[in-house]
Amino acid sequence: MRREHDEGFGFERLDVWRKAVAFAGKVYKLTSAFPREEVFGITSQLRRACVSVAANVAEGSSRSSGKDQARFFEIAYGSLNEIATMFYIGQAQGLIGDDELADARAEILEMCKMLSGLRRSALKAEV
């Protein structure tokens, strides 16, 4: 039996893309409980940064040169660092609990390692 993603986009096969999409879902759920006054603040910023991770992994995987791929993976990595920072800020504001921060931090670190590997691989392919 064929799965929907057996044919299609290359990024769908990347574990880091799948993790980024799943993480974005968790962030959307978490931020839905944030106060209304944060809609245009940390809620929006966190959501946009999460979307940026998955989108840049997808876009990078479509590039033909290793240098271009590496640049998009680097942007996704930067977005993960932005998300980590916002989680710390959210915790300081009482929006995010200690367990939520620890869980998010672990997932972010895992995706950062995966992106570092993809970036290195893309740059090696360029040589």
Hey, where are the domains in the chain? 11-126
- Predicted confidence at residue 1, as pLDDT, reads 38
Average pLDDT, integer, range 113-118: 96
Residue-by-residue DSSP string for 21-54:
HHHHHHHHHHHTTS-GGGIIIIIHHHHHHHHHHH
- Predicted confidence at residue 57, as pLDDT, reads 97
For residue 66, the one-letter residue type is G
Task: Tell me the pLDDT tens digit for each residue of 36-49.
Answer: 999 889 999 999 99
Average pLDDT, integer, range 88-106: 96
Task: Tell me the pLDDT tens digit for each residue of 4-21.
Answer: 545 689 899 999 999 999
The CATH superfamily of 11-126 is: 23S rRNA-intervening sequence (1.20.1440.60)
DSSP state at residue 9: -
pLDDT at 60 > cutoff 50: yes
